Amino acid sequence: MLLVLVLMPIVLGAAALVTPARIRPWLVPAGAVLHAALTAYVVISPPEPMLDRWLTLGPLGRVILATLSAQYLLCSFYIPAYLKLRSELPNRVFCACVCALIGTMSLVALSHHLGLMWVGIETSTLVAAPLIYFQRNPRSLEATWKYLLIGSVGIALALFGSFFLASSALHSGLASSLLFEDMVRDAAELSKPWLHSAFVILLVGYGTKIGLAPMHTWKPDVYGEAPGIVGALLAGGVTTCAFCGLMRFLQITNAAGDGDLARDLLLAFGLISIGVAAAFMIRQRDYKRMLAYSSVEHMGIIAFGLGIGGLGTYGALLHLLNNSLGKGVLFMAAGNIHRAYGSKLTADVNGAIHRVPASGALFLTGFFAIAGSPPFGLFLSELAILQAAFNSGQYWAAALFLALLATVFIGMGAVVISVVQGAPAAGTKREREPLLTILPAVCCLAIVLLLGIYLPPWLESALREAAAYVEMRP
C-alpha cells in the first residue's frame, strides 16, 4: 500500500501524456481522490514497513502525508476549470507533472532512508519545474531556470551534508546504515564534530528548498511567474517535504543529546526569515511576489517553533498544516485576480471585490487567516509557538517574534487592501467566476477556520505524537 501511494500518481502522470485533451485535466482530481482514500486507509491502519524498512509510515510521516494529500486533493479540483480558461496553452506536460508530483512528495513522507528521501525531494523539484514554465514567456523561463539552478545548489549541499552524517557514524566505528531508525538508535555514539557539520550543511541545503532567508532568492520570481495553483502546490507541498527532511535530521541531533546547536540555528534562521519578509513586504507593489515573501515568513515561523522546541515543535507542525491550506486560499484567489486584470501590480489592480467578488472576498479573508488573526487556525499555531517561547524563558525572542509579525501584518495588509478595495476602472464589467475556481479555495478556508475553533482529538493526538517523535531524547 505504501508503494502504491508513490507509484500510482506517477503512473497516472505517464497516462496523462497519452490521454485525449478533453479528459486529461480530470485525471488530476481523479488521482487526488484515489490518493486521499489510500492515505486515509494507511493513516488509520498503518501497514508494515517495506523494502527493508526503507518505506515506513511513522508518526511524523503520518502528519506530513495527510497534510500533503489533503492540500493536493482540494487544489486538484481547481485545475480542470483553470485549464479550460487557459485553453490556448498546451497542458499535456502540465497535467502529467501535477499528477506525478503527489507521488514524489509522498515518497519523501514515507522514506526512512537518508538517500531515498533525498531522491524524493530532488525528484519533486524536477517534476515541479515544468509547472513554473506553463505561461511559456521569457519571465517564466527565467523563473524556471532560477528555481532549478538555486534548488540544485541547495539539494547538492543537502547531499554533501548527508555524506557528513554518514561519516559521523563511520568515524565512531559504527555500521554505515542510512536508515533513520538506526541513526537515531546510535545517535549518542556519532562523532560530534561530523554531526554538527552535517546539520549546518543540511540546514543550508534543505533551507534553500524551504525558502528560509537568505536562501530564499528563488521564491519571489517563481511564485510571481508561476500560475496561482502552482504557487499553492509549491508553498504548501514542496516546502513541506523539505521541512520533513529537516525535522528527521533534527530528530537525530536531539537523540544524540546535542540538539542545542540545531535549535539555536533554527531559531536564528526563523527570525531572520520573518525579518526579511517584513522588510520586503513594506511598500510591495506586486501582490504575487508579496505571497512569496509571506511564504518566507511562514517558513521562518515554523523554523522558529522548531528552534524553541517542546510545545514549539507541536505548534510548528500545526502551523505547517494551517499554512499549507491557507496558502491554497491566497494563491488560488490571486490567480483568479491576475487572470481577470492581466496584471500583478497594485497600480493596475484595484476594486477586485467589485470585478471578481468571490475571489476578492477570498483574497481579503485569506489574508486575515494567513496573518494569524483569530479565530483562524494559524492564530492557534502561532499562539502555541509564542507560549513555548515564554515558557522556555526566551523573552527577547518572543518579543522580536511579535514585533516582526506585526510589521508583516501592516505591510501585507496594505497590499491586500489596495488590491481588493477601491473602484475598478470605468467601463470594466464583473467577471464570470466558474464554480471550480472558487470552491476549492472556500474549502481550504473553511478547514483553516475549523482548525482555529475546534481541533479534533485524533488530529491533536497525531500532532503531539509527531512532535514527541521529533523531540526524542536519549
4-57 per-position pLDDT tens digit: 999 999 999 999 999 998 899 999 999 999 999 999 999 998 888 888 889 999
What pLDDT sits at residue 53?
86
The DSSP 8-state label assigned to residue 254 in this structure reads H
- At 186, the pLDDT band (50, 70, 90 cuts) reads confident
- pLDDT of 474 > 60? The answer is no
d(C-alpha 326, C-alpha 366), whole Å: 7
Contact 378, 248 (CB under 8 A): no
| DSSP codes joined into one string, 136-160 | -SHHHHHHHHHHHHHHHHHHHHHHH
Average pLDDT over residues 270-281: 94
What is the per-residue burial (b if ≥16 Cβ within 10 Å, else e) of 332-354?
bbbbbbbbbbeebebeebbbbbe
What pLDDT sits at residue 185?
86
Q: What is the pLDDT of residues 281-340, one digit of tens each?
A: 988 899 999 999 999 999 999 999 999 999 999 999 999 999 999 999 999 999 999 998
- pLDDT of 346 > 90? The answer is no
* Mean pLDDT score of the chain: 92
- pLDDT of 406 > 90? The answer is yes
The structure's pTM equals 0.95
Domain ranges of the chain: 2-470
What's the Cα-to-Cα distance from 108 to each of 112, 290, 300, rounded to whole Å? 9, 28, 21
- pLDDT of 394 > 90? The answer is yes
Written as one letter, the residue type at 111 is S
- At 118, the pLDDT band (50, 70, 90 cuts) reads very high
What's the Cα-to-Cα distance from 382 to each of 168, 288, 401, 447, rounded to whole Å? 35, 24, 10, 17
Count Cα atoms within 13 angstroms, Cβ side, for 2. Answer: 23
Average pLDDT over residues 431-457: 94
What pLDDT sits at residue 188?
85
Written as one letter, the residue type at 173 is G
Cβ-based neighbours of 213, under 8 Å, separated by 6 or more = 269, 272, 273, 275, 276, 277, 296, 300
Average pLDDT over residues 430-448: 93
Crossing angle for the helix pair 357-370 and 439-453, nearest 10 degrees?
A: 30
Written as one letter, the residue type at 387 is Q
Contact 440, 309 (CB under 8 A): no
Q: How many residues does the chain have?
A: 474
Average pLDDT over residues 216-222: 93
What pLDDT sits at residue 121?
92
Largest CA distance in the chain: 76
